[in-house]
């Protein structure tokens, strides 16, 4: 058996799985996926339970399941991470933890990995349901893996933002609201900015003003929903590049942005969890 070297991770996992909330969240997650999947079949078969689902319809099912899972991840991650440090502070356990020999990075990493591993468990638990798409063709295993990989990138980045907010903001509720605010900015506001920046560079008569549109491109690339759509439908990605006159694939900017956000958030959180004694 692999021994967990990080005490915080070990403790967090123990506490998490002693709480009924963790199991109820898994049940809620799986039920949601199930409702959408069964609902899809019922709608497609006109509620008769009999019919034919071709590869094209299967792509729609795959898209729906991917977006449902992505949405669940986007909504659950702030709730799981934004209280990681601030709850310890509120429960007056943080001071004791900070006087141990653990490095600031070990504490942050332990908190992050415990939340991420729980979210990964959710994704893993949902795989038997979402793999129903393999029954009807049109979806390759690589498509399946790729969507999960991008979801994990977003999940880690959002978890890092949650951990940072939890470190910087004393009250859990404020940290949580801030993290949800950032999540909504990334998903909703960036889509709005895409629309605004595209409009600004288009004439009143609808004619293209020409030239590259780096801002529109950037907001498209960092928007998790637009990017996920471009992963499932390559034509979305091609149109995005055409409209913005950019060459760099969306996924490159997407990954780079979220990796930078993750590193930056974890670095700032590590620097700020303890006071600078010097």
> Which residues contact other proteins (rule: CB under 8 A)?
3, 7-8, 10-11, 14-15, 18-19, 91-93, 95-103, 274-278
Computed over its alpha carbons, how large is the radius of gyration of the chain? 21
DSSP code string of 58-125: HHHHHHHHHHHHHHHHHHHHHHHHTTTTHHHHHTT-HHHHHTSS--HHHHHHHHHHHHHHHHHHHHHH
Q: Shortest approach of other proteins to residue 178 CB, angstroms? A: 23
State the Cα angle at 124 between 219 and 129, rounded to 5°: 95
CB 166 within 8 A of CB 172: yes
Among residues 250, 198, 245, the alpha carbon closest in space to that of 227 is found at 250
> Residue 88 Cβ, how far from other proteins at the closest point, in Å?
8
* Residue whose CB is less far from other proteins, 97 or 120: 97
For the bound state, the minimum distance from the C-beta of residue 271 to other proteins, rounded and expressed in Å, comes to 14
Helix/strand number for the chain, H first, E second: 13, 0
* Cβ within 8 Å of residue 63, ≥6 positions away: 229, 232, 233
Cβ nearer to other proteins, comparing 97 with 196? 97
User: What are the φ/ψ torsions at residue 5 (nearest 5 degrees)?
Assistant: -85, -20
| Pick 19 or 131: Cβ nearer other proteins | 19
Name the residue nearer to other proteins (CB basis): 95 or 142.
95
Least distance CB 78 / other proteins (angstroms): 23
Our CB check for other proteins shows the closer of 14 and 39 to be 14
Angle subtended at Cα 106 by Cα 26 and Cα 278, rounded to the nearest 5 degrees: 140
Q: Which is nearer to other proteins, 53 or 175 (CB)?
A: 175
For other proteins, which is the closer residue by CB, 50 or 278?
278
Backbone φ and ψ of 208, nearest 5°:
-70, 135
- 240, 226 Cβ separation under 8 angstroms: yes
């Amino acid at each position: 058996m692999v021994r967990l070297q990080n005490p915080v991770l070990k403790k967090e996992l123990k506490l998490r799985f002693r709480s009924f909330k963790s199991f109820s969240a898994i049940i809620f997650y799986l039920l949601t996926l199930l409702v959408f999947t069964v609902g899809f079949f019922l709608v497609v078969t006109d509620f008769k339970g009999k019919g034919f689902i071709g590869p094209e319809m299967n792509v729609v099912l795959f898209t729906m399941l991917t977006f449902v899972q992505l949405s669940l991840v986007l909504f659950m991650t702030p709730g799981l991470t934004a209280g990681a440090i601030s709850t310890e502070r509120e429960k007056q356990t943080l001071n004791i933890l900070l006087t141990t020999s653990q490095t600031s990075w070990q504490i942050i990493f332990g908190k992050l990995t415990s939340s991420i591993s729980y979210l990964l468990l959710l994704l893993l638990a949902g795989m038997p349901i979402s793999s129903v798409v393999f029954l009807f063709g049109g979806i390759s295993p690589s498509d399946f893996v790729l969507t999960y990989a991008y979801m994990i990138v977003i999940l880690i980045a959002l978890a890092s933002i949650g951990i940072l907010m939890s470190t910087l903001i004393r009250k859990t509720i404020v940290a949580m609201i801030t993290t949800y605010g950032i999540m909504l900015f990334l998903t909703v506001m960036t889509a709005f900015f895409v629309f605004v920046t595209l409009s600004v560079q288009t004439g009143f008569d609808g004619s293209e003003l020409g030239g590259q549109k780096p801002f529109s491109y950037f907001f498209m690339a960092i928007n998790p929903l637009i990017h996920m759509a471009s992963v499932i439908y390559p034509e979305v990605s091609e149109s995005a590049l055409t409209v913005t006159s950019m060459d760099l694939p969306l996924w490159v900017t997407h990954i780079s942005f979220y990796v930078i956000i993750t590193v930056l958030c974890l670095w700032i959180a590590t620097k700020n969890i303890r006071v600078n004694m010097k």
